[in-house]
Amino acid sequence: MKEQEILKRLSDAVLQFDSEAAADAARASVAAKMNPVRAIEEGLAVGLRVIGDKFEAGELWLPHLILGAEAMEAAIKVLEEHMPRGALESTSRGTVVIGTVEGDIHDLGLRIVASMLRANGFKVYDLGCNARSLDLIQKAKEVDADIIAASSLMTTTMPFMRDLVEALESAGLRDRFKVLVGGGPVSKEWAKAIGADGYGKDASEAVKAAKQLVQKE
């Protein structure tokens, strides 16, 4: 099978949210001795980007983003076994640890941002809602993250974002991780006031801010 055909199969499988087809296409790319990094970047990621664009246009929804990312993951699992050490990392734009802050159980916006980051090439570790600052930091250390992203949907949980920045400072880790914040009541002014590095008014802006933050490094 020609490489172009395999790349299309990889992209289409993601677009059709079909994990089995994605894994099959990945096996075909291995059999054809295709460079796995190319299979990801020019096949799987293309499909996920189209889903991300359609999501932004209001044509697809959050669950589609998740299903597309799952199909991509299924294919990457196959490709990983055939990749040189460290090659997978080279396909990632950066690593993000994300969570809704302590005391806040709103997770919908968080999932949208996490999915959009994945669709844009970030490796994302999602700690879900009610995530303590220390847990976010611990995970960021563990996976050597570039960014810690925190969301809040309530004015009374926003102070926990400040805690996150202060905890990084007192642990001597402030320069190691960028901090990105967002959520319903959160504003650019608040982000600045607590010393965060970036702010996203919505998922698209969060992705844009994350890209800028990893570029600055």
Partner 1 sequence: MTAPSLWEVLDRACNTGKVVAAKDFDMKVFSVASRLVKEHGIRYDPETPVSTDDGLADDAWRAGLELFTEVGAYCMNSGRVIGFDESEVKEGFKELRGEAVVGEGAERRVLRLRDVDDGSPPSIVCGGVIESNFPEGELFVKLYQSIAQEPTIDGFYVGPPLQSSEGRLVRSGTPLETHLGTSMVSWVREATRRAGRPGMHFISACTSAIANVAACDSAEGLRRSDGIVSTIMPELKTDYENLNKVVYSHDYGCVKHVYNGGMIGGWAGGPEGALIVSIANAVMAVMVYRIGVGSSYNALGYLRASTPNYSAFVTRPCVWGSSIGSQALSRNTKIVNTVVAMTNAGPGTEMQLQEIVAALCASMPCGREGLSQGVRRFKVKPLLGSGLENRFWGEVGYAMSRVKRDFANHLAEEMLSRYEHRVTRDSDGGPEGHTFDEIYDLATLKPRKQFQELYDGVKRELEDMGLEF
167 touches partner 1 by CB under 8 A: no
User: Is 121 in contact with 88 (CB distance < 8 Å)?
Assistant: no
Least distance CB 84 / partner 1 (angstroms): 32
Show the binding pattern over residues 12-51: x = contacts partner 1 (CB under 8 A), - = does not: ----------------------------------------
Least distance CB 103 / partner 1 (angstroms): 4
Strands 94-100 and 147-151, how do they pair? parallel
Question: The tokens 């993000």 sit on which residue?
Answer: 96
Least distance CB 211 / partner 1 (angstroms): 14
3-state helix, strand, coil in the chain (%, to 5): 60, 10, 30
160 touches partner 1 by CB under 8 A: yes
- Alpha helices by DSSP H, listed for 57-170, are 62-80, 87-90, 108-119, 133-143, 159-170
1 touches partner 1 by CB under 8 A: no
Question: For the chain, how big is the Rg over CA atoms in Å?
Answer: 18
Residues 76-135 that bind partner 1 (CB under 8 A): 103-109, 111-112, 116, 128-129
192 touches partner 1 by CB under 8 A: no
Q: What are phi and psi for residue 20, nearest 5 degrees?
A: -65, -45
62 touches partner 1 by CB under 8 A: yes
154 touches partner 1 by CB under 8 A: yes
Residues in CB range of 131: below 8 A, 6 or more apart: 99, 100, 101, 102, 150
Residue closer to partner 1, measured from CB, 39 or 161: 161
Residue closer to partner 1, measured from CB, 84 or 159: 159
Q: Which structure tokens are listed for 194?
A: 């607590």
Binding-site ranges for partner 1 (CB under 8 A): 55-56, 58, 61-63, 66-67, 103-109, 111-112, 116, 128-129, 154-157, 159-160, 184-185, 187, 201-205
